[in-house]
Amino acid sequence: MKLNIDGLLVYFPYDYIYPEQYSYMLELKRTLDAKGHGVLEMPSGTGKTISLLSLIVAYQKAFPLEVTKLIYCSRTVPEIEKVVEELRKLMEFYSKQTGESNNFLALALSSRKNLCIHPEVSALRFGKEVDGKCHSLTASYIRAQRHADPDQPVCRFYEEFDSVGRQVPLPAGIYNLDDLKDFGRRKGWCPYYLARYSILHANIVVYSYHYLLDPKIADLVSKELAKKSVVVFDEAHNIDNVCIDSMSVNITRRTLDRCQTNVDTLQNTIQNIKETDAVKLKQEYRRLVEGLKEANVARETDVYLANPVLPDEILQEAVPGTIRTAEHFVGFLRRFLEYLKSRLRVHHVVQESTPQFLKDIFDKVCIDRKPLRFCAERLQSLLRTLEIADIADFSAVTLISNFATLVSTYSQGFTIIIEPFEDRTPTIANPVLHFSCMDPSIAIKPVFQRFQSVIITSGTLSPLDIYPRILDFRPVTMASFTMTLARTCLCPLIVGRGNDQVALSSKFETREDFAVIRNYGNLLLEMSAVVPDGIVAFFTSYVYMENIVASWYEQGILENIQRNKLIFIETPDAAETSMALEKYQEACENGRGAILLSVARGKVSEGIDFVHHFGRAVIMFGVPYVYTQSRILKARLEYLRDQFQIRENDFLTFDAMRHAAQCVGRAIRGKTDYGLMIFADKRYARADKRGKLPRWIQEHINDGSLNLTVDEAVHLSKHFLRQMAQPFKQEDQLGLSLLTLEQLESEEMLQKIAQIAHQT
């Protein structure tokens, strides 16, 4: 259908539209008009992706000079592919309606592992291996060597792309990962480099967060993207953690050992080269004297994305003399390494700020701040000069040099924690140096500064106002949308007591309490008898789950549950978990019924959808607080309090509730779906917890279901499940939660729609 969104003609590829989609597009349009950033929350399964795509594409077509590019960031490869498929549908609709052939170029970009078509390289199993092998075939000096020695192995796809592909732009169309591979095979071009090259002139790019947020990758891939782009972060409820992870470094003794061998190899290679080709080293030296001027020029023209690792000041300076020659630099690395080793030999926990660390390193081994800052850049240069083919081997030394640069660059927002052992095993020495970023805004700041509009959206972003605070930006729109429903298809219940009136809670004091564990078991047992097909149960941590399951086994509860349903357990091992998931789905499919015990913040809670019968109920045992004794977390909380005036408790609750919402949200993936959401902890009934759930869940929690016993919950569930099993057809939704164009344009409906968006 064709919609009129605030004066903009939007083609929408479906015959029906949800009212909240319309409302969402209105808000989005406002954000784009204002050229600002937006935070939008809309429940999963209400067609967020297609609303985003159709509005932004329409905007691009209407104002080609205002918005030149859409950068759509998603989390996983399946999600990326889903977005591209939606886009394809939209474009087909466009060409059918307008009759013109499509002149849009949209493509997905992923790692080499997903795009490589080289017969040998693509057969490798791990991403790192593929990257390393690819590099060893396509690096510039390898190709240069080949001129002298034609027998060197080479990637013919890359060669072909390099000689022909760069001149011919990728024809307009929609390219998913497989389409790119097909195209590459047909032409004999490398799809990965083709995609990387083509994103510069593509209208729409779909890729992973990391290509924009992780400074190491962003520098390679995204730095030349145009300023007038719209950036969308989908499923962005965890974006702060992604930012922090991309800037944090963990160093163990093993890293240092591997680094030592790396440095030795470097030393040997330098020795060899010195004997054979001394000129090369001299050239490098001269280049370094010139400084990083080249990079500087590029930045001034405002084409590049600022790299948070390397601040502007550095680029204006030349590499300091102390590390300019190769031998000196290797010696420098050795000193730095020895220093780190000595720091890891501690017997008690040390926490210090970056200036403290720098002072200490200067006192002990006389390393100045300045050469440290150039460490990463200098290492890159050296590796290039030495023509080392397999970069993957040098990951340890790269990590250390990145650490050196980061630690000397930022005086704020980071902390260094050295732990001699893990908290759980105080007798086993396993020293770790955490260089931890506490401020997610550091990594994302260049994105906000650079791009015209950044949209952060997800099904669970409540409370909305916290994201702008921790990411340090000013949004022009913040809105939360509810799900309009023709029938109440979600049923959140807060179970606060067992049948024997024992308060249910996962809080630390009652964690080991037998009565609580028994009542939790009882809840699961009773639910397994009334809920059909699949139940997903989430625990707060692996340790807690192990304890409870062991206790249930002793009490014979597991045996009773197994009469009703099979039990599967998520483990930290990915292969085991995917096996369990597969069997779980099979059991749901053939009527045996199954329970999946998993962990909040685990793989299952984040990435796996349990549509329809795969998840008829989600039980959340306890409130998934993060492990509060962790020193990294404590440091971060302190930082948040000092810098952003966010109280520790607020942040912890916010973090726990967004994970709880993520977990229970797994069950409802659309309006025809239905599911129970059981919060088994009395603390959920408190206003401060409940108020932080997304609005679309909150509004279905009535006062009657705040502090239920197990029996009452079972009774309500039975009733709910019977109601939901009654026939439900599309006609029932029409006019209420599903609209045709005529219905949408009626005055009454437009008024209703205006109420859907909840502005904050």
Partner 1 sequence: MMDEEPERAKRWEGGYERTWEVLKEDESGSLKATVEEILFQSKRKRVIENYGKVRLGMMRHLYVVVDCSRSMDDHDLKPNRLTSTLKLMEAFVEEYFDQNPISQLGIITTKNKRAEKLTDLAGNPKKHTAALKKAVDTVCVGEPSLYNSLNLSIQTLKHMPGHTSREILIILSSLTTCDPANICELIKTLKSLKVRVSVIGLSAEVRVCTVLTRETGGSYHVILDESHFKELLMLHVRPPPVSSSSECSLIRMGFPQHIIASLTDQDAKPSFSMSQLDSNSSEAALTLGGYFCPQCHTKYTELPVECKVCGLTLVSAPHLARSFHHLFPLQAFTESPTEELQEDRFCQACQGELKDKSIFSCPSCGSAFCVECDFFIHDSLHCCPGCIHSQTAP
Tokens describing residue 311: 């601040």
* Shortest distance (Å) from residue 592 CB to partner 1: 6
Q: Which of 460, 480, 541, 709 binds partner 1 (CB under 8 A)?
A: 709
Candidates 274-282, 415-423, 525-533, 693-701: pick the segment binding partner 1 (CB under 8 A).
525-533
Candidates 24-32, 153-161, 695-703, 715-723: pick the segment binding partner 1 (CB under 8 A).
715-723
Asked whether the beta carbons of 580 and 566 are under 8 A apart, the reply is no
Footprint (CB under 8 A) of partner 1, residues 569-588: 588
Decide whether 110 or 709 has the Cβ nearer to partner 1. 709
Tokens describing residue 94: 């466009």
Decide whether 28 or 588 has the Cβ nearer to partner 1. 588
Q: Which of 68, 499, 643, 760 binds partner 1 (CB under 8 A)?
A: 499
Burial class (CB in 10 A: 0-12, 13-18, 19+), 754: exposed
* Shortest distance (Å) from residue 591 CB to partner 1: 3
Cα separation values, 266 from 297, 383, 401, 420, Å = 31, 8, 14, 30
Asked whether the beta carbons of 736 and 486 are under 8 A apart, the reply is yes
Decide whether 409 or 717 has the Cβ nearer to partner 1. 717
Query: Is residue 563 near partner 1 by the rule CB under 8 A?
Result: yes
Instruction: Give the span between the Cα atoms of 448 and 387, in whole angstroms.
Output: 37
Q: Which of 31, 564, 605, 653 binds partner 1 (CB under 8 A)?
A: 564
Q: Which of 593, 622, 624, 665 binds partner 1 (CB under 8 A)?
A: 593
- Phi and psi (nearest 5°) for 65? -90, -20
Please name every residue paired with 678 in a beta bridge, in sequence order, or none if there are none: 493, 619
Instruction: Give the span between the Cα atoms of 758 and 484, in whole angstroms.
Output: 13
* Shortest distance (Å) from residue 733 CB to partner 1: 18
- Identify each DSSP E strand in 555-689 by its residue range: 566-569, 594-599, 617-621, 675-680
- Phi and psi (nearest 5°) for 416? -115, 125
Instruction: Give the span between the Cα atoms of 367 and 359, in whole angstroms.
Output: 9
Query: Is residue 730 near partner 1 by the rule CB under 8 A?
Result: no
* Shortest distance (Å) from residue 671 CB to partner 1: 16
Instruction: Give the span between the Cα atoms of 579 and 583, in whole angstroms.
Output: 6
Q: Which of 102, 560, 723, 743 binds partner 1 (CB under 8 A)?
A: 723
Cα separation values, 315 from 69, 302, 323, 338, 408, Å = 29, 15, 16, 28, 15
The DSSP code for 17 is B
The residue count for binding partner 1 (CB under 8 A) is 30
Candidates 115-123, 349-357, 434-442, 526-534: pick the segment binding partner 1 (CB under 8 A).
526-534
Footprint (CB under 8 A) of partner 1, residues 356-415: none
Decide whether 346 or 725 has the Cβ nearer to partner 1. 725
Interior CA angle at 689 toward 683 and 691, to 5°? 140
Instruction: Give the span between the Cα atoms of 32 and 432, in whole angstroms.
Output: 45
Helix H or strand E segment including 157 = helix 156-160
Query: Is residue 702 near partner 1 by the rule CB under 8 A?
Result: no
Q: Which of 396, 724, 739, 757 binds partner 1 (CB under 8 A)?
A: 724
Query: Is residue 672 near partner 1 by the rule CB under 8 A?
Result: no
Instruction: Give the span between the Cα atoms of 709 and 721, in whole angstroms.
Output: 18
Candidates 300-308, 318-326, 591-599, 681-689: pick the segment binding partner 1 (CB under 8 A).
591-599
Footprint (CB under 8 A) of partner 1, residues 528-557: 529-533
Decide whether 588 or 738 has the Cβ nearer to partner 1. 588
Asked whether the beta carbons of 94 and 60 are under 8 A apart, the reply is no
Instruction: Give the span between the Cα atoms of 562 and 528, in whole angstroms.
Output: 9
Decide whether 156 or 718 has the Cβ nearer to partner 1. 718
Candidates 79-87, 169-177, 641-649, 718-726: pick the segment binding partner 1 (CB under 8 A).
718-726
Candidates 219-227, 255-263, 471-479, 712-720: pick the segment binding partner 1 (CB under 8 A).
712-720
Footprint (CB under 8 A) of partner 1, residues 596-625: 612-613, 616
Query: Is residue 345 near partner 1 by the rule CB under 8 A?
Result: no
Query: Is residue 494 near partner 1 by the rule CB under 8 A?
Result: no
Nearest to 50 by CA among 239, 232, 225: 232
Query: Is residue 468 near partner 1 by the rule CB under 8 A?
Result: no
The pattern of x and - marking residues 433 through 462 that bind partner 1 according to CB under 8 A reads ------------------------------
Decide whether 25 or 530 has the Cβ nearer to partner 1. 530
Tokens describing residue 663: 């977990």
- Identify each DSSP E strand in 117-216 by its residue range: 173-175, 204-208
Candidates 291-299, 442-450, 552-560, 714-722: pick the segment binding partner 1 (CB under 8 A).
714-722
Instruction: Give the span between the Cα atoms of 484 and 55, in whole angstroms.
Output: 21
- Phi and psi (nearest 5°) for 342? -65, -35
Query: Is residue 675 near partner 1 by the rule CB under 8 A?
Result: no
Please name every residue paired with 597 in a beta bridge, in sequence order, or none if there are none: 537, 569
The residues binding partner 1 (CB under 8 A) are: 499, 529-533, 563-565, 588-593, 612-613, 616, 709, 711-712, 715, 718, 721-727
